[in-house]
Amino acid sequence: MLVNVHLSHLAGTFSPRQNVFVCERLHARSLLYRQCYGRESPHHPVCAFARSHCDGEESAGCAAKKPAPLDEKALRSLGAVDPEVPVPQQRPVSIQSFCAPAGTEPRLIKDSIQPDTYHVEVSSPSHSQERPYERIPISMLGADVMAQYANITELNGARPLDAPVHFVPEPSEQDKRQQARRLTKGEDRPTNVFGPDDRVVFRDTTYPWRTTGRIRTVNGTCTGSVIGPRLVLTASHCMDWQDGGGVGWVEFSPGYYNGNGPWGLYRATRTLWWNRAEGGLTDVETAFDYVVLVMDRRIGDDVGYLGYRTYDSAWNGLDVWWHVGYPGDLTSAQRPTYQNNCTISTAEEQLLKGQTGLVLGHFNDTAGGHSGGPVWGWWGDETFPRVVGVQSAAAFSPAMNPSGDNEFGGGAALSALISYARNNYP
């Protein structure tokens, strides 16, 4: 048995949440809203007046509402956040793991042609390679979990202190020329892309982009994101659900790019879920199409992890969201893409065993491989984004109406799932 490996070495903090009150008279898209709550001029006298007339629910015509995320213009004005401590010159990276036959000792052999490439050899009576965690135990959540965590609507994210923050990622130089040529009239692509393809291939190992990565299972590839110190969020329909219980092996490589995972490979050891999604997805299945994977090591210590916030329908129509995925069409699931200025058009509640999930309809560009990819927003002066959902479904017949949209899954059930996972698997 011969395994080729390539060594690669590369060389996140809490910030107080900014609480603001939004007067019902101020439309979310108005200039006044963007100036007062989009960081452009938060201390302007007009803003102070608006706040003074909207502080407290007693004021006529005013209500305390959740602030909307920052738009792209505000994010680009922020610039990068520098690391707070020096970046380590080297750090341990788990490149591959496997089960060696009993009584054998693996050997590390340096390649004779490429000096930074090694082979791992082990004597074996067969050519088959057994995977660790071949069958992963599962934990289905119930009504007791929902009741316990129902009031938790947001959780903070964190970045390693040695990680810089880029609010907007660096595009991939390799793909710039290819993406300069957009689809023209009469050209077809077998994916649900609405209008011009707005996805951008990127290569950025700063926070938070390093928290996203490629999921691999026996079924193929999906996208995942680190949501806690040992936790990865992805879609339920990406799992290889096993008859008799459990799911098949799941591997996750954060920051994966063209065969290289700078932080190595992590394996799932347990799956936390509400609903088993397979095949075509109903609206109920989409609303609960997410799982949290408990990994074999503390992945969040290396790359950081994202925050979370329960989606509010008051944000429908705002072009403030970011979506990350590993598309099969643009990059053969080898390089990640992001789409900014995403809009969630509709939020439809679905009930399952007393739980409430949301189908978040959108017309942003997705393809095979995007499944499980996060959609997030940035709020106030926080240096971490908050996930509000994961990519779930694409319409069988795409159309610019609610029956032909793409769909994220999210809602209160996702909030409870993440809260339960962080509390029980820190």
CATH of the domain at 162: 2.40.10.10
Examine the pLDDT at 413 and tell me if it is beyond 60: yes
Whether 226 is in a domain gets the answer yes
Whether 220 is in a domain gets the answer yes
Whether 71 is in a domain gets the answer no
Q: Is residue 122 exposed (0-12), middle (13-18) or buried (19+ Cβ within 10 Å)? A: middle
pLDDT class of 132 with cuts at 50, 70, 90: confident
Q: What is the pLDDT of residue 193?
A: 61
Express each pLDDT in 110-130 by its tens digit.
888 888 888 777 776 665 667
Whether 275 is in a domain gets the answer yes
Express each pLDDT in 257-281 by its tens digit.
999 899 999 999 999 999 999 878 9
Alpha carbon of 69 to those of 316, 341, 353, 360, 377: distances in Å? 12, 11, 31, 16, 5
Nearest residue to 93 (alpha-carbon basis) of 150, 11, 160, 163: 11
Instruction: Count structural domains, the chain.
Output: 1
Whether 96 is in a domain gets the answer no
Q: Is residue 102 exposed (0-12), middle (13-18) or buried (19+ Cβ within 10 Å)? A: exposed
Q: What is the pLDDT of residue 372?
A: 96
pLDDT class of 13 with cuts at 50, 70, 90: very low
Q: pTM of the full predicted structure?
A: 0.78
Nearest-angstrom CA–CA distance, 150 and 415:
8
Examine the pLDDT at 50 and tell me if it is beyond 60: no
Alpha carbon of 191 to those of 28, 224, 420: distances in Å? 32, 20, 35
Whether 12 is in a domain gets the answer no
Nearest residue to 255 (alpha-carbon basis) of 245, 266, 268, 271: 266
pLDDT class of 398 with cuts at 50, 70, 90: low
Task: State the chain's mean pLDDT as an integer.
Answer: 80
Whether 377 is in a domain gets the answer yes
Q: What is the pLDDT of residue 44?
A: 39
Q: What is the pLDDT of residue 231?
A: 98
The structure tokens 């799941």 sit at 250
Percent share of the chain, pLDDT over 70: 75
Write out the residue range of the structural domain in which residue 142 sits.
136-424
Whether 118 is in a domain gets the answer no
pLDDT class of 194 with cuts at 50, 70, 90: low
